[in-house]
A and B are shown apart, each in its own frame.
Chain A
């Protein structure tokens, strides 16, 4: 089995370009996935994430660039010669075959004998905890069960890499969350490399070891979930991953990446922040600040003040809608039970934050 110890499950995408007419669906994307790693390709629709997956799978041939699996170039190899597993979003199981026949199909294609086929298919079915369902037709299973069978079928022949194209997007929320954990466990258990396409940032953050964020065919950032959330490198990543307040303003002098800056806000006032990228002087700036990093204190006459326009109670936290002095609209999240000040609508408050949590980007 291509476990984490080998190089078998390593995937490299080098300078990938795919054009659809005048549009660059994938624009010079390079990324490496190590053996046994769980990588999520995250982006909105049209970001190129699925095209990258299809190029790895062999259903799209790139206009430029190379694809390597286990160190071997497969850019032009047909899908059936790449020995990859894949789980699609829907219509994945063959409707005319039983569950067990579906799982045994890839083994049959590899010339495995009937008895061994059946034994291995049963074992794979047990891995996804559907041991009793072997004789059923796919149409007799629920959506979640169908996707589990699809996973069993994709791993039964021990491929080096498992590709997943939004496999959970057709499922309802609770089942989706359950399946996320289950897939994660399964992946650790068998040590397979997984490349997982999703547009759901929570899904990407929960499941992946690393996340590649894409927009308009370009790789925006590739990093661990915590890095993406806490230290987004582009304004797109800051806005797409998690919830964020954006404050707009200008900068008097240029700043290097990581430098502490004072941004002059459009509505008046200044905002301490750090430069997430090199910032030009006089250029327009967007500062990103997470709602839960904004501290709301009783107004005591000093510091930036704001007015609470709405307080939305959600059990574990209260979301405050705020209006700053210059008319900026902000959100703050106050966790419940921490003894923090929970102002009422109409109340004036003082806002405070760590400059390191406010990240300034060129707008």
Chain B
């Protein structure tokens, strides 16, 4: 069959726009059919059903219940991002400084959860946090509590479980940023009189910032639209926007309002992405030495 090597496989070659489009076509088609089309339909409903109107959007901002859900979504996403960053940095640091078996073990510890279903990981947290769960039993046995503490269905539980689920998305970009910083930089800083803390503040952190920013961006955006974990671990008091959308669609059958909520989430996501990209671009001029 092979008369000549495929032109597309030749390394370093630039494809014509037509060829590029052809290569990407199956993927673009899939995205268009299963993502863009339904989203467009939903957004169309939010603006044109029953007649051209902005009423659905106005309602989302007018009613305190919905406004609270939106604010809570932003707050939880921010808390999850902060907690994930705090937990991810030491792991990423350790990974960037390990080799061989140590790196393999750490890598597995970070990646294995990523390959496990979110549902499974969320149920694991339910087992840990429930009234007669592992954590409560430990608290009782240690004498730190007299009666089982309410852990499940609290905002803290939601933040903790989401941070855990999203942790790999924070660890990996930070790890790759730290790995790219030659050891010579921190050695040079130490030599020039910087303490360990100054070396971190003046050299390591600024150089790792692009990785930190993309990790934060990814975790924040995923957290904004997160459904499974807040739905199972949070109670009605912890409802986030994705759960609200699902409720509107499945229980209220209010497609136009669900569309408006999706539109608002979309605006959040775009705004945050643009803001983060701006921040990252500020570090772009660094270049390689």
Contacts and interface: CB of A to CB of B under 8 A. Distances in A.
B190 A96 contact: no
A84 B191 contact: yes
Nearest to A54: B187
Given A91-B182, A109-B198, A137-B285, A83 B188 contact: no
A95 B189 CA distance: 12
Contacts of B184: 88, 90-92
Interface magnitude class on chain B: 20 to 34
Interface residues on A, range: 20 to 34
Interface in A86-115: 86, 88, 90-96, 105-106, 108-110
Nearest to A139: B287
B8 interface: no
B289 A86 contact: no
Contacts of A154: 191-192
B207 interface: yes
Contacts of B207: 94-96
A138 interface: yes
Nearest to B194: A109
Interface in B243-289: 283, 285-289
B288 A95 contact: yes
B54 interface: no
A146 B187 CA distance: 17
Contacts of B189: 94, 105
Given A59-B187, A88-B184, A105 B286 contact: no
B195 interface: yes
B218 interface: no
A79 B190 CA distance: 6
B188 A86 contact: yes
Nearest to B287: A139
Nearest to B289: A95
Given A94-B203, A95-B207, A96-B206, A106 B192 contact: yes
A85 B286 CA distance: 25
A304 interface: no
B186 to A, nearest CB: 10
A153 interface: yes
A78 interface: yes
Classify the secondary structure of B's interface with A: helix
Interface centre among B187, B188, B207, B283 (most CB of A within 10 A): B188
B190 A78 contact: yes
B193 interface: yes
Contact of B286 (A91, A92, A106, A137): A137
Contacts of B206: 96
Contacts of A110: 193
B288 A157 contact: no
Nearest to B183: A91
A206 interface: no
B48 interface: no
Contact of A91 (B185, B193, B195): B185
Interface in B175-215: 182, 184-185, 187-195, 198, 202-203, 206-207
Nearest to B182: A91
A57 interface: yes
A146 B289 contact: yes
Identify which of A84, A95, A110, A153 gathers the most chain B CB atoms within 10 Å of its CB.
A95
A202 interface: no
B111 to A, nearest CB: 29
Interface string A151-178: 0011001000000000000000000000
Interface in B76-134: none
B192 A95 contact: no
A135 to B, nearest CB: 13
A57 B191 contact: yes
A81 to B, nearest CB: 8
B193 A96 contact: no
Nearest to A78: B190
A12 to B, nearest CB: 20
A84 B203 CA distance: 19
18 contacts: A57-B191, A59-B187, A80-B192, A86-B187, A91-B182, A91-B184, A91-B188, A93-B188, A94-B203, A95-B287, A96-B283, A96-B286, A106-B192, A109-B192, A110-B193, A139-B288, A139-B289, A157-B192
Interface of B: 182, 184-185, 187-195, 198, 202-203, 206-207, 283, 285-289
Q: Which 9 A-B pairs have the closest CB atoms?
A: A139-B287, A106-B192, A109-B193, A91-B184, A91-B182, A86-B191, A79-B190, A95-B289, A109-B194
Given A93-B188, A95-B288, A157-B193, 17 more contacts: A79-B191, A80-B194, A86-B187, A88-B184, A90-B184, A91-B185, A92-B184, A94-B185, A94-B207, A95-B289, A105-B202, A109-B194, A137-B285, A137-B287, A138-B289, A139-B289, A154-B191
